Structure 1
């Protein structure tokens, strides 16, 4: 009999969790940031879910959040028409970048010196973080709000998914659209796996895998429910997906066979991502929680011990960075 999956539940948010991202592996482990409609993105230790701090300063729902590779910087995209860059060690706001509309997506370049943004004004922007007053480079052409914008191919290319039901590949230097994909329904999520140049796209009930440089379809899988997000394991041997039916599905990447499905959330799953070491995946939901799930159930890792108690809940202390005072309502 298969062992029961026991997720770690990370509470603290008061509204739906709509985006999450992991850092790379640092000397202090790896970290996870969550974007929430409560306007207060949170930073946690990635392997345990232990709360580290909350970034305070947005005046609206936060739709996108990301960390740079070494977890020294965070960036957030919000409904207050700003993208913000934060010192992820102190929790201090470093920059606030004004936009003309709601910002949905933020992504650091590999050297962390540039930030790519996208949102409801349908334009991709690249900001030089060392020259915050300089005008950003702008890429216009989408006919709908940009949901996700990602760097690709050592930052030479950009990928964007928009509500015009297209995914576009842009050349950074010529600023032209090199290739474009069209879908019959809006793209829910997009993940770029640099090691392998694989693009993971979800739309409707479909999880599709494309070559990120040619935009040629590698394969696709139909799930039992509408899927909002999917993530490919770093070893590219299986992937996870979550969506409308509150479940998380795990599939074999080669055979496309469903390996597991778990209902752990009390609302639709909006985002799911594998950790950089592939040992766990995190999910964020309409129910306001993040959950961490083991890739290999029963393995001793993080807070999981070989003999599992019924439910593990990670330590939730009061939110605030050491040098940040927050008045609790």
Structure 2
């Protein structure tokens, strides 16, 4: 569904303006030091922006095809991205130099992440597998297999010991990054699981689905703790806002929603994207968010004030 939606909605888009790509923005990331925003697009580029004012700093054009995911290292010095070219690319943030390629998947990559120590990269692919890669050598250390359909997203726990994945097979899964063993399976969504995020303490994962729900899970037991619904809508992305009990989501109606997960209530809506808001990321403190959408735009949000900061 995701690929079809992107192709159909890409046909009639307006001219490019500030903080925009020449194609749909599939993914965004915020650096841990708060200085940079990165965006990945259907225009086959990754762009690095100044988070303070939205100025474009780097345009990375080494990908062969659409770019679907992007993530910063914890020290904010490196950037990993992946896409239709079936490989991860590692770039230096300050210069934009291509540092290494990580080939090995048999289909497009839609999710990518660093471990907190920066030594390993993770990839989620439509070949139904996840890869764990040595960042220094480029060697694939582990292949995580078990999903029965395309894998849409991957997240790494704060302690770097586990990964969570989201898939078209209607499940999210928890993995041991030391052994590659599947630790837990989260079942309950009725349609594709599009995104997954760890809480800052690593005790919970939050999943976002085309079925119009966000689901909060306990990582120790696998129990469903809460389900949040928006009838008639679908969720594309999710991130925690600096604390276990607060999160932000992106969805098919173009809105970003801020949630109180403990109470199960919607706190606020951030409007600005035209049509689908495809991606969202939050700063470590939870005071800043970035989003990207079908409308080609990258937007920065002051979460505390509830308004758009730059575009």
Q: TM-score, normalised by structure 2?
A: 0.75
* 2:263 is the alignment partner of 1:239: no
1:221 aligns with one of 264, 270, 284: 270
2:148 aligns with one of 70, 85, 100: 100
Superposition deviation, residue 201 in structure 1: 0.4
Pair 160,258 (structure 1): closer, same or farther in 2 beyond 3 Å:
closer
User: Structure 1 unaligned runs (5+)?
Assistant: 262-329
Pair 198,50 (structure 1): closer, same or farther in 2 beyond 3 Å:
farther
Q: Name the structure, 1 or 2, with higher relative contact order (CA <8 Å, separation 6+).
A: 1
* 2:232 is the alignment partner of 1:190: no
Structure 1 Cα separation of the partners of residues 265 and 54 of structure 2: 38
2:101 maps to which residue?
54
Pair 250,114 (structure 1): closer, same or farther in 2 beyond 3 Å:
closer
Pair 21,214 (structure 1): closer, same or farther in 2 beyond 3 Å:
farther
1:71 maps to which residue?
118
Structure 2 Cα separation of the partners of residues 202 and 69 of structure 1: 25
1:90 maps to which residue?
137
1:199 aligns with one of 241, 247, 250: 247
Structure 2 Cα separation of the partners of residues 4 and 206 of structure 1: 20
Q: Verify the 8 A CA contact 2:124 2:152 in the aligned structure 1.
A: yes
* 2:63 is the alignment partner of 1:13: yes
1:170 maps to which residue?
217
1:321 maps to which residue?
none
Pair 6,83 (structure 1): closer, same or farther in 2 beyond 3 Å:
closer
Q: Verify the 8 A CA contact 2:89 2:98 in the aligned structure 1.
A: yes
Q: Verify the 8 A CA contact 2:156 2:164 in the aligned structure 1.
A: yes
Aligned length: 255
1:314 maps to which residue?
none
Structure 1 Cα separation of the partners of residues 179 and 284 of structure 2: 34
2:72 maps to which residue?
22
Q: CA RMSD in A?
A: 2.2
Q: Verify the 8 A CA contact 2:115 2:156 in the aligned structure 1.
A: yes
Structure 2 Cα separation of the partners of residues 199 and 189 of structure 1: 11
Structure 1 Cα separation of the partners of residues 214 and 54 of structure 2: 38
Pair 15,21 (structure 1): closer, same or farther in 2 beyond 3 Å:
same
Structure 2 Cα separation of the partners of residues 195 and 49 of structure 1: 32
| More off after superposition, 115-124 vs 239-248 | 239-248
1:260 maps to which residue?
310
Higher gyration radius (CA):
1
SS in structure 2 of the partner of residue 41 of structure 1: strand
Superposition deviation, residue 60 in structure 1: 0.5
Q: Verify the 8 A CA contact 2:241 2:283 in the aligned structure 1.
A: no
The one-character-per-residue Cα deviations of 1:296-324 (angstroms, maximum 9, x if unpaired) are: xxxxxxxxxxxxxxxxxxxxxxxxxxxxx
1:155 maps to which residue?
202
2:78 maps to which residue?
31
Superposition deviation, residue 30 in structure 1: 2.7
1:264 maps to which residue?
none
Q: TM-score, normalised by structure 1?
A: 0.71
Q: Verify the 8 A CA contact 1:153 1:197 in the aligned structure 2.
A: no
Structure 1 Cα separation of the partners of residues 296 and 126 of structure 2: 25
Pair 213,151 (structure 1): closer, same or farther in 2 beyond 3 Å:
farther
The one-character-per-residue Cα deviations of 1:138-179 (angstroms, maximum 9, x if unpaired) are: 121111111112222422111111121111001123322110
Alignment of 1:35-46 (within 5 A): 35-46=82-93
Q: Verify the 8 A CA contact 1:192 1:212 in the aligned structure 2.
A: no
Pair 260,135 (structure 1): closer, same or farther in 2 beyond 3 Å:
closer
The one-character-per-residue Cα deviations of 1:35-89 (angstroms, maximum 9, x if unpaired) are: 2122111112234432211111001000111111121111101011111111112
Pair 206,57 (structure 1): closer, same or farther in 2 beyond 3 Å:
same
